[in-house]
Structure 1
Amino acid sequence: MGTENAAVNFSELVNKNKQTLARLQESPRLLLHRRDGEDLVLTTAARAEQDQTVVSAATRMLVAMARREPGSMELLLDILPDAFPWVRFLPEPDLHAFAVELVDTMRAADSLGNSASVAQLLIAWQHTAEVYSDPELLAALTRDHGEDYGPVPDPRDVA
């Protein structure tokens, strides 16, 4: 049984559905390329449930480890650069904030069975690290530009 995802055009699923679906026997997922939309991933319900079980177990272990005792958070802070090399650009207070927010968000997302918020959190913190990695960009974004235009209105209130 292969471990790489197979890839086909979406039209193959429509035109040769039995042959295309048979490829799920050889690959855990089938990447469906679409001409006029975002690519899709097709997998079996059993495989999707297995994936969710693994993610949930890993999340619970990480949360339990991080909350076990104060030294555990230091361990997490030590291993984060191995998992996310870009955290090396974060200042120490931000690195700690990232670790706490990551654990809390993973726990909350796991309770919903939806990891979108974790993915968004990782992207946002990675962009923050990118800003810190570029001295010119950091200076431009942290420079006092003079006049403060006051609070920004809530976009939902703007007609």
Structure 2
Amino acid sequence: MPPPEVSFSELQLHGKATVERLHRTPGQALLVRRRDAEDLVLTTAARAELEHTAASVTTRMFVALMQHDEGVRELVTDVLPEVFPWVAFLSRDEVREFVLELVATLRAADSLHNPAPVVQVIQSWRHTAEVLADPDLAAVLTTDSDLDLGPVTRPGLP
């Protein structure tokens, strides 16, 4: 369930009342809507630390299980389609590779307190599945070719 919403101007004009409302919400979070920039989530530092600790412990336990037991790795590979249905377009070996990369990235990202690399791994593998789901595109991208069109320039550059 998403957190209750407040406008940025409400936070500015009625800061104390907004913070009191924050403490009364079940998740101790408010979504602060902004017209001119990205929305914000307002929470307490203690709540943010609790959430980070819970995620970190869960990640470390999951990584440890994956590193110590081949059966767990196989089980995770088997149940992955329930979490990411698009892995149906990947081969069994690609699913295993995704699992190993995801676990390694979860561990590294947790050590940096930055979930962005985890999302990047998931998005990259999802894009791979999208390509493989399209037979025409997959054929173009998996066909060996001696054609080299040279270096690619950055977008927006001549």
Q: TM-score under structure 1 normalisation?
A: 0.85
Partner Cα distance (1:137, 1:33) in 2: 40
Q: Which residue of 2 aligns with 1:128?
A: 128
Q: Which residue of 1 aligns with 2:23?
A: 25
Kindly state the Cα deviation for residue 150 of structure 1 after the two structures are TM-superposed: 4.5
Kindly state the Cα deviation for residue 144 of structure 1 after the two structures are TM-superposed: 5.1
1:137-148 paired onto structure 2 within 5 Å: 137-143=137-143, 147-148=147-148
Partner Cα distance (1:65, 1:137) in 2: 37
String of CA shifts for 1:32-76, please: whole Å, max 9, x gaps: 111111111111111111111111111111111111122221111
Q: Which residue of 1 aligns with 2:92?
A: 92
The code of the aligned residue for 1:66 comes to M
Partner Cα distance (2:29, 2:128) in 1: 32
Q: Does 1:47 align with 2:34?
A: no
User: Residue 149 of structure 1: SS of its match in structure 2?
Assistant: coil
Gaps of 5+ in 2: none
Q: Does 1:61 align with 2:80?
A: no
Kindly state the Cα deviation for residue 136 of structure 1 after the two structures are TM-superposed: 2.9
RMSD: 2.3
Q: Which residue of 2 aligns with 1:71?
A: 71
Partner Cα distance (2:24, 2:125) in 1: 37
Kindly state the Cα deviation for residue 145 of structure 1 after the two structures are TM-superposed: 6.1
Partner Cα distance (2:150, 2:106) in 1: 34
Q: Does 1:109 align with 2:109?
A: yes
Q: Which residue of 1 aligns with 2:11?
A: 13
| 29-38 or 83-92: bigger deviation | 83-92
Partner Cα distance (1:70, 1:26) in 2: 45
The code of the aligned residue for 1:88 comes to A
The code of the aligned residue for 1:58 comes to T
